[in-house]
Structure 1
């Protein structure tokens, strides 16, 4: 998770997707759902960078909905504030519309905060 947080905060959204997907494939239950939401959020911002309006909106919304099922801090990640900022990005992109979303202020993209790396549950085989 620490690597994914660093990559996300550097704006390397495709790489976040790759790192988290490798973990997601091995996980089950709630961890899997959280990872899927974070993957979708990263992919949404990747689509934004590639001028894919529909893909950006769709994945930001789906990812936020999945990741929003967890508490304020989940698996060491500060979720509430992060997801509020993802929603603000979504709202801004949607308001700009397909013809003007390239004017989205990318400084709005939130940073992820890993508050407690030890809170991430270890898999039994580790």
Structure 2
């Protein structure tokens, strides 16, 4: 089986519906060999982490249509990309509430970093993971991760490529003070 991230258009779901959506998706495709791992709910889409044979993908998407129409499908596999492209991808995914994919893209960048840069990128990864938890209605776990993200960002330079690290640090502190995750762009 192959792994995919399916993004279905959000028909009014919130992260509180995450568990219910996993069960619904599993029920909808119970008669086929497919695995639904998790549902994450963003503003505009429901992200389903699924495994299915490639030739059964169209059938799976059709069965999941009561949840929402397909917006995007991404085949997940270990890929080797240039560090700069990984950063661009990570930013794109983060800014489009595709936090799990942002985490994966920045993890590829992290593997190519050394020293202080490695710590800084890990801080960005932890922030993306915090939001991915919130999309599964696990906001308290996400809030708990903010301290680790802030520690990893430390006193790194104020900019990392096009990412305003000072702004991220400030946003993390604001979210900690409010005890609430608030989506923003990096």
- TM exceeds 0.5? yes
| Residue equivalent to 1:2 | 88
2:111 — aligned with what?
Answer: 25
**Alpha-carbon distance in structure 2 between the residues aligned to 1:90 and 1:54:** 11
TM-score, normalising length from structure 2? 0.49
Name the SS of the counterpart of 2:113 in structure 1. Answer: coil
How far off its partner does 1:54 sit? 3.6
CA RMSD of aligned residues (A): 1.8
Q: Look up the match of 1:53.
A: 139
Q: What is the match of residue 110 of structure 1?
A: 184
CA drift at 1:63: 0.7
Runs of 4+ in 1 over 6 A off after TM superposition: none
Give the conservation status (yes or no) of the 8 Å contact 1:13–1:45: yes
Task: Name the counterpart of 1:73.
Answer: 159
Structure 1 residue aligned with 2:61: none
Matching residue of 1:98 = none
Structure with the bigger RCO (C-alpha within 8 Å, sep 6+) is 1
- After superposition, give the CA deviation of every residue in 1:76-121 in whole Å (9 maximum; x if it has no partner): 42111222112222322x2xxxxxxxxx5x6x32210xxxxxxxxx
**Residue 63 of structure 1 corresponds to which residue in structure 2?**
149
TM-score, normalising length: structure 1 = 0.69
Structure 2 residue 121 is the aligned partner of structure 1 residue 38: no
Larger radius of gyration: 2
Decide which structure has greater strand share: 2
How many residues matched?
Answer: 100
Q: Which residue of 2 aligns with 1:83?
A: 169
Partner of 1:119: none
